[in-house]
């Protein structure tokens, strides 16, 4: 009888392990299905509005900024969420429709207003002011990059680099596992995923350069740096979520959470690309474009 009991106990432990593995596989399969379904909708929409540019892109970026502002207000438990929603959309609307280039002044103004609206508590006011900048700047950067020199091509390529980074990091981390990239920020991101993302993005940049006849090394560097920016943006948003004690910024996108969860890496990459081209316009020449 003791032998039978021991055998039954071992069988139960084995069954529990098998059930756990099956549940994990089912959860991963469901997550992948939701991610694919979301991508089927979001990617064509993103490509369309970037291709159109102008007023269409400005309105789309303003909507995204407004939703991001609402999500930030929700995470931070701000008292006036609609105010941040409106404020975040203002700079890109100014960039798209105002007759003068006042978008940077508008960006500063929304940060000030976010602070002023919540001025009764300095910590909350600071969180609101930073949130206004954090939600307004990435959509504004995308719009300005698209409307600048070689804007359509550079914006589309940057988007593809970020998508390659996301896909390679997801599968690389799950395939090779290994040590966590930043345990404090995210319990799921691993160094193996980051390295896979770097390698895949560099290879894609090299292939693009060879196909199009562009300088190889500058495009490899551009691909790597955009991948780094995207992953840092992802980690930064994870840090914010952890500090606010929430798992997802929102629930508007199945399998991804909120808009902030989906565009954290893309927004960081757009800000980085705009900063480089604004501070060093000659980078266009290095990439093989005319001055």
Cβ–Cβ under 8 Å, residues 118 and 76: no
* Closest residue by Cα to residue 135 from 228, 240, 49: 240
pLDDT score for 151: 92
The two three-digit tokens of residue 170, written as one number: 């997801």
Q: How many CA atoms lie within 13 A of 186 on its CB side?
A: 20
State how far the Cα of 125 lies from the Cα of 116, in Å rounded to an integer.
7
Nearest to 62 by CA among 97, 108, 111, 113: 97
Structure tokens at 207: 């292939």
Paired with 281 in beta bridges are: none
3-class DSSP assignment, residue 257: strand
Q: Determine the Cα–Cα distance for residues 92 and 106; give it in Å rounded to an integer.
A: 9
Residue 11 CA to its chain's centroid (Å): 45
Residue 36: per-residue pLDDT: 72
pLDDT tens track of the chain, all 291 residues? 455 454 555 655 654 554 555 655 655 566 666 667 667 777 888 899 999 989 999 999 999 999 999 999 988 888 878 889 999 999 999 999 988 789 999 999 999 999 998 888 899 999 999 999 999 999 999 999 999 999 999 999 999 999 999 999 888 888 877 777 777 767 777 888 889 999 999 999 999 999 999 999 999 999 999 999 999 998 898 888 888 888 776 666 665 667 887 888 999 999 999 999 999 999 999 999 875
**Which residues is 180 bridged to in the sheet?**
190
Assigned token pair, 133: 């900048």
**Sequence-ordered alpha helix ranges (H) in the chain:** 2-52, 54-76, 81-97, 103-117, 122-147, 151-176, 191-212, 216-244, 259-279, 283-286
Q: What is the pLDDT of residue 154?
A: 95
Return the SS3 of 101: coil
Whether the Cβ atoms of residue 265 and residue 253 lie closer than 8 Å to each other: no
State the greatest distance between any 2 C-alpha atoms of the chain, in Å, as a whole number: 88
Burial of 64 (0-12, 13-18, 19+ CB in 10 A): buried
Token readout for 41 is 């909708």
pLDDT of 280: 92
pLDDT value at position 275?
A: 96
**pLDDT given for residue 189 in this prediction:** 77
Measured CA to CA, the distance from residue 153 to residue 212 in angstroms comes to: 12
Q: Which residue from 85, 88, 84 is spatially nearest to 128, judged by alpha carbons? A: 84
| DSSP result, 148-165 | STTHHHHHHHHHHHHHHH
Q: Which of 173, 117, 140, 114 is nearest to 62 (CA)?
A: 140
Whole-number pLDDT of residue 252: 66
Residues 132/88, Cβ–Cβ less than 8 Å: yes
Look at residue 152 in the predicted model and tell me its pLDDT: 95
Q: Which residue has the tokens 């896909």?
A: 167
């Amino acid at each position: 009888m003791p032998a039978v009991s021991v055998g039954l106990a071992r069988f139960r432990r084995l069954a529990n392990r098998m059930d756990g593995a099956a549940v994990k596989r089912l959860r991963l399969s469901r997550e992948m299905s939701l991610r694919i379904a979301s991508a089927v909708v979001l990617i064509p929409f993103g490509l369309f509005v970037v291709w159109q540019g102008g007023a269409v892109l400005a309105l789309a970026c303003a909507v995204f900024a407004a939703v991001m502002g609402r999500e930030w207000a929700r995470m931070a438990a701000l008292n006036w969420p609609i105010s941040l929603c409106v404020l975040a959309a203002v700079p890109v609307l100014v960039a798209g429709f105002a007759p003068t280039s006042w978008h940077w002044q508008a960006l500063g103004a929304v940060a000030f207003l976010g602070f002023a609206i919540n001025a009764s508590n300095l910590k909350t006011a600071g969180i609101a002011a930073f949130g206004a900048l954090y939600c307004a700047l990435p959509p504004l950067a995308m719009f300005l990059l698209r409307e600048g020199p070689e804007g359509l091509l550079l914006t589309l390529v940057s988007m593809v680099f970020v998508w390659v980074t996301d896909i390679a990091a997801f599968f690389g981390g799950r395939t090779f596992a290994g040590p966590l990239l930043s345990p404090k920020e995210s319990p799921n991101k691993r160094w193996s995923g980051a390295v896979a993302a770097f390698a895949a993005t560099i290879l894609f940049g090299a292939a693009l350069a060879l196909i199009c006849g562009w300088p190889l090394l500058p495009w490899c560097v551009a691909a790597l740096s955009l991948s780094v920016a995207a992953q840092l943006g992802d980690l930064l948003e994870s840090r914010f979520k952890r500090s606010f004690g929430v798992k997802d910024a929102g629930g508007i996108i199945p399998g991804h959470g909120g808009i902030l969860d989906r565009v954290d890496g893309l927004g960081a990459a757009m800000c980085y690309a705009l900063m480089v081209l604004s501070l060093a316009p000659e980078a266009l020449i290095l990439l093989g474009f005319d001055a």
